[in-house]
């Protein structure tokens, strides 16, 4: 998928997924860095066993029997999260059916938060062989009639969640665990908040005074106000069972942790911390991309930049390249950036006029305030949009590299190609 190779006496970096090639000038040093790769689970029996005989709580069948449950909801991720949902949900549905819950009483909800609705084709992919056998629908975060109020968290976040999902007897989540830009890690409780919460609930959880706190950052849970608020919301929702998974660099299923939600989520996090740390020396130029599925739009793509917040400084130039077939896909993010002529005014405007998809404005501002120059090559984002976000457009990979070398002021610059940094925990040596 990503290669650094010699061709005609020169090094070049290739992204086979996007069909982009970046030439490395002869005077420069170059290296390619990945999140450590891990083996995929090859035995389907191991996947089935992990779900049906969980290590971190009671089996799902026993939970159904103890609750005398007649209905069940399954919260699944949307297309921006690359979760192998069909492979996991199959065994969840089998357990529910064997415990006596009929297919027509099993409801899947796409936990979109405030993302766009999942398409019918995406829903078919999520359910695989069970598409058409059980119900599936998008969560609706804007329709108060479809929501139910569960009270406030200790941080005064009003918890409004999907009413139809809450009214089911058994609640199940399926998600993927990797480092997250301000919640510490994805997965687990995020299926509820933001997954099936009201827009108002998400805005308050993601509000500036929460996500700008020091501990609201990648890889941190203890003392992280965003995470703790999300966890309280999930407790109010009464999550009964969690299936949390890990993917490798090829987006293959590599580990499954199932059982009680908090325990299975924490086990997955411990695995990530032990296995996916990335040690690096700060280079002159970092070339990065988020890869699939975050490459769907620029709002998601910038997570690759945010993952490098603690790596970059004023001496670092970053080249971000991406496809973004859906464009920026966030009018709120663009409006916040284009509201002012400098970053201080952008942050003030964002804080005073906060909308949910302005969260990445604040997180990007953390990087830009370090005087990091960010060069963007993306065929589906206009120069005006890029410059409006205080970044610099490049129309070809070669132009991006040339701009980066000129900006860092070193003809013999050290260039690090580091795709998908958001999947690991970068540590600067």
Where does 248-394 show beta strands of DSSP type E?
253-259, 277-280, 285-288, 317-321, 373-377, 392-393
Q: What mean pLDDT comes out for the span 194-221? A: 94
Of 301, 290, 302, 307, the C-alpha closest to 426 is 307
pLDDT tier, 81 (very low <50, low <70, confident <90, very high otherwise):
confident
Residues with Cβ within 8 Å of 330's Cβ and at least 6 positions away in sequence, in order, are: 297, 298, 299, 357, 360
Judged by DSSP in three states, 366 sits in helix
pLDDT tier, 428 (very low <50, low <70, confident <90, very high otherwise):
confident
pLDDT value of position 341: 87
pTM: 0.85
Task: Kindly write down the DSSP assignment for every residue of 307-318, as one continuous string.
Answer: TTTTT--TT-EE
Helix (H) / strand (E) element for 174: namely strand 170-176
Q: Tell me the pLDDT tens digit for each residue of 132-165.
A: 999 999 999 999 999 999 999 999 999 999 999 9
pLDDT value of position 427: 83
Q: Tell me the pLDDT tens digit for each residue of 250-284.
A: 999 999 999 999 999 999 999 999 999 999 999 99
pLDDT tier, 62 (very low <50, low <70, confident <90, very high otherwise):
very high
CATH class entry, domain 2-36+278-428: alpha beta
Work out the number of other CB atoms within 10 angstroms of the CB of residue 124: 15
Q: What mean pLDDT comes out for the span 174-182? A: 94
Provide the percentage of residues in the chain whose pLDDT is more than 90.
Answer: 93
Q: Tell me the pLDDT tens digit for each residue of 101-115.
A: 999 999 999 999 999
How far apart are alpha carbons 272 and 265 in whole angstroms?
A: 11
- Are 196 and 111 in contact, with CB atoms under 8 Å apart? yes
Residues with Cβ within 8 Å of 318's Cβ and at least 6 positions away in sequence, in order, are: 285, 286, 287, 288, 305, 308, 312, 372, 373, 374, 375
How far apart are alpha carbons 371 and 374 in whole angstroms?
A: 9
Of 424, 426, 428, the C-alpha closest to 179 is 424
How far apart are alpha carbons 65 and 33 in whole angstroms?
A: 49
- The 135-138 sheet, strands edge to edge: 135-138, 106-110, 72-76, 170-176, 241-247, 253-259
Q: Tell me the pLDDT tens digit for each residue of 216-247.
A: 999 999 999 999 999 999 999 999 999 999 99
pLDDT tier, 356 (very low <50, low <70, confident <90, very high otherwise):
confident
pLDDT value of position 331: 94
pLDDT value of position 297: 96
- Where exactly does CATH 3.40.50.11440 map onto the chain? 44-275
Peptide bond into 111 cis (omega under 30): no
pLDDT value of position 46: 97
pLDDT value of position 177: 97
pLDDT value at 1 more than 90: no
How far apart are alpha carbons 259 and 265 in whole angstroms?
A: 9
How far apart are alpha carbons 385 and 392 in whole angstroms?
A: 10
- Where exactly does CATH 3.90.226.30 map onto the chain? 2-36+278-428
Q: Tell me the pLDDT tens digit for each residue of 368-417.
A: 999 999 999 999 999 999 999 999 999 999 999 999 999 999 999 999 99
Judged by DSSP in three states, 82 sits in coil
How far apart are alpha carbons 290 and 377 in whole angstroms?
A: 13
CATH of domain 44-275: 3.40.50.11440
Provide the percentage of residues in the chain whose pLDDT is more than 70.
Answer: 100
How far apart are alpha carbons 321 and 88 in whole angstroms?
A: 32
How far apart are alpha carbons 137 and 173 in whole angstroms?
A: 15
C-alpha dihedral sign at 153, 187, 261, 68: positive
């Amino acid at each position: 998928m990503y290669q650094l190779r010699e061709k005609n006496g020169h090094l070049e970096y290739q992204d086979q997924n996007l069909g982009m090639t970046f030439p490395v000038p002869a005077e420069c040093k170059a290296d390619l860095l990945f999140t450590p790769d891990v083996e995929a689970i090859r035995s389907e029996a191991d996947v089935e066993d992990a779900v049906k005989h969980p290590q971190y709580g009671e089996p799902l069948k026993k939970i159904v029997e103890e609750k005398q449950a007649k209905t069940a909801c399954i919260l699944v991720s949307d297309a921006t999260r690359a979760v192998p949902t069909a492979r996991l949900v199959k065994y969840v549905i089998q357990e529910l059916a064997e415990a006596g819950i009929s297919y027509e009483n099993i409801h899947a909800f796409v936990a979109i938060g405030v993302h766009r609705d999942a398409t019918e084709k995406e829903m078919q992919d999520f359910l695989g062989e069970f598409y058409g056998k059980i119900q599936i629908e998008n969560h609706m975060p804007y329709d108060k009639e479809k929501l139910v109020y569960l009270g406030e968290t200790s941080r005064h976040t009003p918890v409004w969640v999907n009413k139809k999902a809450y009214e089911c007897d058994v609640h199940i989540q399926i998600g993927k665990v990797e480092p997250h830009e301000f919640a510490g890690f994805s997965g687990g409780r995020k299926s509820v908040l933001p997954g099936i919460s009201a827009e108002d609930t998400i805005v308050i959880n993601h509000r500036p005074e929460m996500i700008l706190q020091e501990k609201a950052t990648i890889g941190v849970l203890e003392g992280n106000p965003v995470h703790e608020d999300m966890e309280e919301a999930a407790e109010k929702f009464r999550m009964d069972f969690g299936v949390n998974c890990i993917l490798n660099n090829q987006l293959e299923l590599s580990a499954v942790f199932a059982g009680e939600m908090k325990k299975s989520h924490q086990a997955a996090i411990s695995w990530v911390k032990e296995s996916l740390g990335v040690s690096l020396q700060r280079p002159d130029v970092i070339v990065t991309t988020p890869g699939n599925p975050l490459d769907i739009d620029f709002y998601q793509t910038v997570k690759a930049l945010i993952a490098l917040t603690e790596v970059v400084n004023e001496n670092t130039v970053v080249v971000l390249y991406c496809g973004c077939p859906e464009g920026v896909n966030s009018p709120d993010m663009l409006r916040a950036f284009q509201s002012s002529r400098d970053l201080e005014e952008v942050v003030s405007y964002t804080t005073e006029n906060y909308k949910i998809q302005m969260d990445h404005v604040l997180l990007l501002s953390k990087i830009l305030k370090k005087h990091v120059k960010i060069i963007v090559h993306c065929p589906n984002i206009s120069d005006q949009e890029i410059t409006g976000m205080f970044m610099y457009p490049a129309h070809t990979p070669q132009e991006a590299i040339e701009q980066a070398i000129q900006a860092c002021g070193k003809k013999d610059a050290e260039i690090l190609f580091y795709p998908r940094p958001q999947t690991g925990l970068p540590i600067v040596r």
